[in-house]
Amino acid sequence: MNKKKKYILEDIDEDDFKLICIHSNCEDFKFAFLLNSKCNSRFIKLKKEVFYSRSKVNFQIFEWIDDIKGISCYLFSNRFLLVEDHLEKGGGLFDVPETKELYLVQDLKDVDYIIKINSGIDAFSLVKELEKINEVSYCYQPDQNKINLDLCINF
C-alpha cells in the first residue's frame, strides 16, 4: 500500500527583506572580496544581466546563498557608466563620446552598493561589521517605504 505524502508550503512574503546602502569608492570585485574577508560572507558573482530601458546594462550582482544556515543575500552595484560612442567619421578633434550614469535604484542615486538580505542575516549586525571596513565611507538601512524598487532587484 502506497502512502502519499502531503507537503504544505507556507506563504512566503516576497517583500520581507532588508536593504543596506553602502557608500564606497572600491571596484565591484574588490568590495565583494572585502565583504567576504572582513564580514565572513561568501558572495560570488552571478552571470545574470540587468536590463535598463531595453538595453543590456551590466550592473554587477553577487549572491550569497547558504541553504544550511538559511542565508540568502545579494550585493548589487547601484551605478553604471554608459558610454555611447556616436561619433561620425571626420569628427572634430575634441569630440568625446556621450556618457550617461545609470542607477539600479533611482531613489538611491548617491549609493554605490546595495545589499538585499532575504533571510539568515541580521541587518543591524551587518551594518556594524561594514562600518569597520576602511574602504566603506558610510552605510545605513534606508526607509524602504520611501523607496520605489524596480523589478530588477526582485530575485
Say if residues 99 and 148 touch (Cβ distance below 8 Å): no
92 band by pLDDT with thresholds 50, 70 and 90? low
Question: pLDDT tens digit string along 109-155?
Answer: 899 999 999 999 999 999 999 999 999 999 999 988 888 765 444 44
pTM for the model: 0.77
